[in-house]
Amino acid sequence: MSNQLSPPAADEYAPFYADYVQRAAQRNDVTMALADQIGELHAALDSLSDPQACFKPGPAEWSIKEVMGHMNDVERVFAYRLLRISRNDPTPLPGFEQEDFVHAAGYDRYALRDLVNEFELLRQANIILIQHLTEEAFERRGTASGYTVSARALIYMMVGHVDHHMASLQEKYLPVAVSL
């Protein structure tokens, strides 16, 4: 999949998503990154056991499984927003409380393999959606969490969100978890 989708302008997303958009913009091709991230997650996490994946770098931090579950939650939320906005639905979309989602889910009870496979399936479905969007659909804007957001920005946010958490996993989690 390659569609060389240009980065969104700053008025296409909320300021608190700037880090995600900037991370995604550093990728050579954001549409290729959508598929590449599936392999990157498998490469980083497939060798971990379930006990290793319950590692938390601190008492107030999420476990690796909780981070992975959170990535799945956000993939779903961003995909829903992308669908609604790309279909020209003007209904304002609500935000969500990520801490509440993670705590209610109980991700440490899940098999890590299931969480990674779930991400892969979600992302594959999103890639198919994105492949069939028109240039007009990429430019459409809606409202999510009280801010204007474009369909194009949501794609960048999907990639940047995963890159953000992968960087955290590589820096704070995996160096310790693999030695457990």
Tell me the pLDDT tens digit for each residue of 11-44. 999 999 999 999 999 998 999 999 999 999 999 9
Tell me the pLDDT tens digit for each residue of 119-138. 999 999 999 999 999 999 99
pLDDT value of position 2: 47
pLDDT value of position 110: 98
What are the chain's domains? 10-177 (1.20.120.450)
| Token pair belonging to 168 | 């955290």
pLDDT value of position 162: 98
What global pTM score does this model have? 0.96
